[in-house]
Homo-oligomer: A and B are copies of this chain.
């Protein structure tokens, strides 16, 4: 079985051997651009790991792995337009470097290429199973993005609604990556389902970790501006837990900060963080993350395989969930 770095090397080689067409250059160049911005490629790696649990011929899962990576980047390209985001991983987003027309059309063709790679994943029964999973999850990701868009302008968002949104927008794709890998290796259906649940729940925990790091991450390690969510008045789990648990006056103060754009960014981040801190919100959110994470790993335990097959996957996901940046 291969470790994460070896799997990432395989993915990089596959992407080099399967480039986008050269022409029309204006269509495909932005696709190549976003793929080289340096994402962690955790999703395609999970496809390969899901496959390697059952079979060693991991090469046969590479088209499915690449399809998942293309889908993820399609959704980033379109989300960046919707969020009017100027930067992604410190580099200009596609609609900023080129324009909105380019980001729409290049995103569209990336989604279609995801299906092109999927259609190459072995015999037609396997391909059809993969496409069913992919269709289900692609729909969920759009629905999650719509919920996220809706939440921006809604005054009240409940914690279950928030968890549903991050589940659809982010977590189900991690689950589907593992499930697709398992299906591409003809894994038993019950195992494939447990792996989906493992990835889905780990994905929710991962996203909660993201909320925590955005406010409490080490500025030296964290890629983005610490406090970015606070400055954008995002309704993160930290905010929602505060509104559910804090005193009326703390809730009022938090709402006041969230209704105004910051004149002094440092002051605003410090003030909101102080509200979180004095209500022990980071501890509460951390506990919620731990709870979901434990449920996730129970599904990995339920997978009917010898322990030794699961070591690399367990370690990879555990590392992801303990990351500090």
Q: Which residues of A approach B to under 8 Å, CB–CB? A: 24, 26-27, 78, 81-82, 100-101, 104-105, 107-109, 111-113, 115-116, 119, 124-125, 127-128, 131-132, 135, 138-139, 142-143, 145-147, 149-150
Contact = CB atoms under 8 A, between A and B. Distances in A.
B105 A78 contact: yes
Contacts of A78: 104-105, 108
A311 to B, nearest CB: 34
A115 B104 CA distance: 19
Work out how many copies of this chain go into the complex.
2
A170 to B, nearest CB: 16
6 contacts: A26-B149, A27-B142, A81-B104, A105-B149, A108-B111, A119-B135
Contacts of A128: 119, 124, 127-128
A150 B109 CA distance: 16
Given A27-B142, A27-B146, A81 B108 contact: no
Contact of A119 (B108, B131, B149): B131
A105 B24 contact: no
Contacts of A100: 81-82, 100
Given A27-B142, A111-B111, 7 more contacts: A78-B108, A81-B101, A82-B104, A105-B142, A105-B149, A109-B143, A113-B139
B135 A116 contact: yes
Contact of A112 (B113, B125, B135): B135
A115 B128 CA distance: 11
A260 to B, nearest CB: 24
B146 A24 contact: yes
B125 A26 contact: no
A101 B26 contact: no
Given A111-B111, A115-B115, A124-B125, A105 B146 contact: yes
A308 to B, nearest CB: 34
Contacts of A127: 124, 128, 131
A115 B135 contact: yes
Contacts of A124: 124-125, 127-128
Contacts of A82: 100-101, 104-105
Contacts of A149: 26, 101, 105
Nearest to A147: B24
Nearest to A129: B124
Given A26-B149, A100-B100, A105-B78, A116 B139 contact: yes
Given A26-B149, A27-B146, A112 B138 contact: yes
